[in-house]
Structure 1
Amino acid sequence: MMPADFKTLFISNTPLIDVRAAVEFAQGAFPSAINLPILNDNERHAVGISYKQDGADAAERLGH
């Protein structure tokens, strides 16, 4: 998509899906966005720990 396409979507109040954690969404989001987090808190924690301890490949292998 081109930047102008995003502008058109934003101006037309097209619903947007925000997949960030609820706490991040609460800190700020586009007005037409709804929050559907990809990870729950436990999954997010497990990915973070795995990433820090074993690297990106290990975190990806968790399947989240």
Structure 2
Amino acid sequence: MGQSEEEIARRLAALRTEHRDLDDSITALLLSGHVDQLQLARLKRRKLRLKDEIALLEDQLIPDIIA
């Protein structure tokens, strides 16, 4: 793990913002009435990749608790 907690937190904030923006873009595309299925699929794939990356970074910040 070569990144500090502060760097990870900054990256997480940026990814979460991008994830929300993609969600807004997907919603706007669906509401427009003219849905480009290819564009919609690309946006959804990108959103899923961001979600996975966010989860990985969150795991780095949250220590494992041994019960």
TM-score of the aligned structures, taking structure 2 as reference length: 0.28
**Higher strand proportion (structure 1 or 2):** 1
- The higher-RCO structure (CA 8 Å, 6+ apart) is 2
**Higher helix proportion (structure 1 or 2):** 2
TM-score of the aligned structures, taking structure 1 as reference length: 0.30
